[in-house]
Amino acid sequence: MSKIIHAISGPRNISTAVMYSFAQRPGCAVFDEPMYGKFLQTNGLNHPGRDETQSKWPTDLADIADAVQKLATKNDEVYLKNMAHHMVNEPWDWAEQSAFIFWIRHPRKVVQSFAKVIPDVTSEDIGLVQQWQQWQEIQHFPGAKIIIDSDEMLADPAATLPRICAALGLPWHAEMLSWPAGSKSYDGPWAKHWYTNVHESTGFGPPKALPEALTPELEKVVEAALPAYLSLFTNRFKI
């Protein structure tokens, strides 16, 4: 039976780089933000690449679950790169048998990066509050489940990624430490709007320092998300 790893992240949290990393594992398929098309259809948000995403990505939950199962029948592993805010008010039964990894990052770093693309950022946009709610909701699921602080992983990927794999019940593959530069066939249709930096990368970079205080409006977003981040951080898998 194929192993499905369901990653839950917020935006601007190295989630694409991690997806590229998992794509290097032998026998592992990846699915870039499977819920994004449905999220845009449900919420009517005018995100960059909205029309193309809705035309090329599934917008019905049954189609999403079917696409995941098709990947699972053809591959030993499937890594789902999902955004927490895409999963709000959605059923999770289709993902119940997955292993779960929640990627978190300090909200000031997330807000600083996100605001460069969508200036009117809100705490709902960055996913930490939703991640904390969802972490609590999946505790009865049977698979492995861990929280990872992205910056702690980035401090030494060669040492931390093997521990993360072991916690998920996966063998370690050193191929995860690098990937080819450029766009990928499995990128979502929105990649040209969001993935410029990661397309220039061939591996994980060092963690970034916590930025100085942002504008008062953006700091309000940071403050709203900080309690959820601290709750997640307290429950993280220490690597």
Q: Has residue 105 been placed in a domain?
A: yes
Tokens in use for 25? Answer: 């594992």
pLDDT at 158: 98
Domain region containing 12: 3-234
pTM of the model: 0.94
Whether residue 239 lies inside any domain: the answer is: no
In a domain, residue 225? The reply is yes
| CA gap 100, 177 in Å, rounded | 21
- Tally of domains in the chain: 1
Cα 67–chain centre separation: 18
Spell out the per-residue pLDDT of the chain, length 239, in tens: 689 999 999 888 899 999 999 999 999 999 999 999 899 888 777 787 788 888 889 899 999 999 999 999 999 999 999 999 999 999 988 899 999 999 999 999 999 988 887 788 888 888 999 999 999 999 999 999 999 999 999 999 999 999 999 999 999 999 999 999 999 999 999 999 889 999 999 999 999 899 999 999 999 999 999 999 999 999 999 98
Q: What is the CATH number of the domain that holds 224?
A: 3.40.50.300
Give long-range contacts, CB 8 A cutoff, 24+ apart: 46-55: 47/118, 47/190, 48/117, 48/190, 48/193, 48/194, 49/189, 49/190, 49/192, 49/193, 52/189, 52/190, 53/188, 53/189, 53/190, 55/189
Q: How many CB atoms lie within 10 A of CB 46?
A: 9
Residues β-bridged to residue 174: none
CA distance 190 to 36: 10
At 50 the pLDDT is 81
Whether 179 maps to a domain, the answer reads yes
* pLDDT for the residue 68: 95
In this predicted structure, what is the pLDDT of residue 49? Answer: 73
Structural domain contains residue 48: yes
pLDDT at 48: 73
Q: What is the pLDDT of residue 120?
A: 87
CA gap 13, 16 in Å, rounded: 8
